[in-house]
Structure 1
Amino acid sequence: MILDARDVRKTYGSLEVLKGVSLSLNGGEICGLIGPNGAGKSTLFRILLGLVSRDSGILEIHSGASKPLGGIIEKPALYGYLSAFENLLVFSRIQGLKQSRTDIESQLLQVGLSPRRKDPVRNFSMGMKQRLGLAIALLNEPECVILDEPFSGLDPMGIRALQDEIRALAKSRGIGILISSHNLVELGDLCDRLYVINQGEIVREGPARDILQQAARSYIIYGTGLESSETLAEAHVEHRTGSVLLHLGEDSIHEILRRLSAEPEVNLTGCVPQTNLAALFEKTSV
């Protein structure tokens, strides 16, 4: 375990922002933190990175690295008039790291940026700025990286590319990654575990697939023969081309799928839960 936070609390005036939050992160693991605006995500990340003091609670970082944690809080703070190479050089010097040109070029390539590009980063797309921010967060080889809303402002291709970079970092270098997003699909596709925070409390935690399943109230079922299914004739469904949207009633999704599989004319090819955000953010015992 690299990061272990227990019963972390923070109050601003009369506003209790964090109400005893606990979470942990292992090396090579990608954990997601999701919650509505004002839930306490950014405050928690600032505390973990040492930018804000906690009122109480325990925060343990188990790392022998000279820089245990790296991170991006909201948008990367870059020097817009400098190139990507020059930005990385400046931040290296700020962190007391002596690097050669080859070192910096290698770090740019690692996050998918060309070291040959010499123009100011103010010309960069949001995706390129996020990649450069990630390169800065990785300076001094931290064992844990905290990313606050890294997909904000990215198009679908940019999101997919950054997800691939994050997966590669966790797998190839064993870095623990804690990441927040407003988009459940982004985190559900990427994370091993999810924490759900609402009103300053962790209301759900566990394997990402289980969390999405717990809060699902409808499912998209893919296959052939669905339009003539006897099972679905008795259910609340919306028929689509090659699929149906099933709204659960009294029967569980497992029972529905079992009955569908037993129908000789039906060939199932997939089932995707449609998570209900209101259900996801409800407080449960964790």
Structure 2
Amino acid sequence: MKKIIVCLFFLISFTNAIQCYNGKTYLDIPESKLAEIGYTKYNITHSSFDCKIAYKRYLKIKEIEPVNVSHVIKSEKDELEEPSKISSFLPICLLVIIVCIIWIIKIAVQKEPQDEYYTVIQKEPIKQKENVVKTEPTKFWNDLIKYSENLERIKQERLKKEPVKSWDDLSREYSENLRKIEQERQKHYTVNPVQNSVKSVQKFDKTYDELLTEQEWYNFRNKVINDKGYVCEFCKKKHNLQVHHKLYYKKPDKEKIEPWLYNMDEVLLLCDNCHKSAHKKNKIKVYYISYSDYNNRKVVFYNQN
């Protein structure tokens, strides 16, 4: 940039010097007549336009033959010399000078050192353009198909490495899963006689009412209320809820106490009024009728002799 400014300054200075030198030429008009036509010697020596206008006015004032316009250089002794040839070659010189300056500026700009960051910025768009030109639709689809084939090949190789289970292994795994499910079901809904044999023997000596005072029954009652949704299964009330066994024995038999005492399928969640109506007899069986709509289901009580 500095070199460009210096070259322009040099061009302007050179042009002004040529204009100043050429401005010394003037029309050969007597100085005594300049005042009559409204011009001075300075006007006609520094402006070719003023020279021509002054010459026309001079012809109108003096009815004589036209004076030939000649650009001459006046010597100190006021002797006329040959016309200056610089004015005729001035346009060509200026054109040559301008072309030379442009050529010098171009060379200076090309040889100007560029830093690494500037070089990277200039070359990056070229690389991107080359990539865009090289990426054609056909090549894109070919690459996509090749990629999908590679994925399928990797998948098949992975399947070959994995061991294939035999029918016996699958049957064994299925049986094991069934056994675990059965154990979970028995854990939640029945009492394991092996694990609770001692505890069950102790219960045999207690009445039903005495069993309802133990912590185990309290925990079971909370589970029933939570699982059945805090609502009476007969009247749909949501307060004063109590747990009621479908089959009630004041003195339960030893063979029947284990299956139904803590079994979710053997109990109902009732409010206090419905619970009282269920205990009018010592032994009452309750049938549970369910419908697809939860709000329409109901419980029907009837006495059993």
TM-score interval w.r.t. the shorter chain?
A: under 0.3
TM-score relative to the length of structure 2:
0.19
* Bigger RCO of structures 1 and 2 (CA < 8 A, at least 6 apart): 1
TM-score relative to the length of structure 1:
0.20
Please state which structure has a larger fraction of its residues in strand.
1
Please state which structure has a larger fraction of its residues in helix.
2
Structure ID, larger Rg: 2
